Amino acid sequence: MDYNSQRKKLILPEYGRNIQMMVDHLATITDRDERTRAAKTVISVMGNLYPHLRDVPDFRHKLWDHLMIMSNFTLDIDSPYPLPEKDILEEKPEKLPYNNHRIKYKHYGLLTEKLIEKIKETEDPEIKRVLTVLTANHMKKSFLTWNKDSVEDDQIYNDINTLYGGNIEMPEGMILSHSKDLLQKKNTKPTNNNKQQKNNKKQFYKKHN
């Protein structure tokens, strides 16, 4: 028996072996005009495999690109689109630079450390107060997201002091949002405490921008 595992490996398996055989046959046609007409027929057959993509922009362009790829870029035809270049397609992408920044508390994330740096730079006492409250609540929400369903505010105060590198001046009477409020669904009504937090954010951004 003739098994697929014993046959030539398909370049683009999603089109199947019959389409690949059609593409291989195009290379045997000696007349260029006839070869081009045959290629258009193969493109139509390829498009019939994905009728739901016919209205997608550049869909036919992609089909012609795939035709050339399946011919191993050896097909000499008149294409209605610029033919893809083999060297460009086979070119390896550049390596993405990875951020090697060391985060002291990963569950708080890098944003928290940037917020604390901003607190250090801020001289306006009112902005400093609002930013401290926002940062502490952000830390509490991050802690609850990655750890457990509740956390004592003292834990947040200790961690923010550690990240600050000293005793950060906490606003007098500062109360962090309740754990259930930070984890509640978006469609629930905000509590009075949440409303106060939103007002603090508005005041901060209004003064800071």
pLDDT tens by residue, the chain, 209 residues: 666 677 788 889 999 999 999 999 999 999 999 999 999 999 999 999 888 887 788 899 999 999 999 999 999 999 999 888 888 878 888 888 777 777 788 888 888 888 889 988 988 888 888 888 889 888 888 888 877 777 888 888 888 888 888 888 777 777 788 877 777 744 455 555 656 666 665 665 555 55
Pair (70, 119) in one structural domain: no
Per-residue model confidence (pLDDT) at position 19? 94
Cα 113 to Cα 109, 125, 126: the distances in Å are: 7, 20, 20
Per-residue model confidence (pLDDT) at position 37? 95
Pair (80, 26) in one structural domain: yes
Pair (158, 78) in one structural domain: no
Maximal CA-CA distance, the chain = 88
Pair (118, 204) in one structural domain: yes
Per-residue model confidence (pLDDT) at position 23? 94
Pair (41, 127) in one structural domain: no
Let me know: does 75 contact 26? Beta carbons within 8 Å: yes
Instruction: Name which of 97, 107, 119 is nearest 165 in CA terms.
Output: 119
Tokens 């921008």 belong to 209
Pair (114, 84) in one structural domain: no
Per-residue model confidence (pLDDT) at position 39? 95
Pair (54, 143) in one structural domain: no
Instruction: Calculate helix-pair angle for 109-121, 125-146, nearest 10 degrees.
Output: 170
Per-residue model confidence (pLDDT) at position 71? 93
Per-residue model confidence (pLDDT) at position 163? 87
Per-residue model confidence (pLDDT) at position 196? 63
Pair (74, 146) in one structural domain: no
Q: What is the pTM of this model?
A: 0.49
Q: Which alpha helices (DSSP H) does 49-167 contain, by range?
A: 59-70, 86-90, 109-121, 125-146, 153-164
Q: How long is the chain?
A: 209
Cα angle 150-199-197, degrees, rounded to a multiple of 5 = 5
Q: What is the DSSP letter of 12?
A: S
Per-residue model confidence (pLDDT) at position 123? 87
Instruction: Name which of 204, 120, 131, 208 is nearest 174 in CA terms.
Output: 131
Query: In total, how many domains does the chain have?
Result: 2
Pair (120, 199) in one structural domain: yes
CA 12 to CA 19: how far, in whole Å? Answer: 10
Per-residue model confidence (pLDDT) at position 31? 94
CA 11 to CA 86: how far, in whole Å? Answer: 14
Q: Containing domain of residue 154, as a range?
A: 109-208
Write down which residue in 90, 119, 148 finishes a domain. Answer: 90
Per-residue model confidence (pLDDT) at position 35? 95
Let me know: does 108 contact 139? Beta carbons within 8 Å: yes
Q: What is the DSSP letter of 133?
A: H
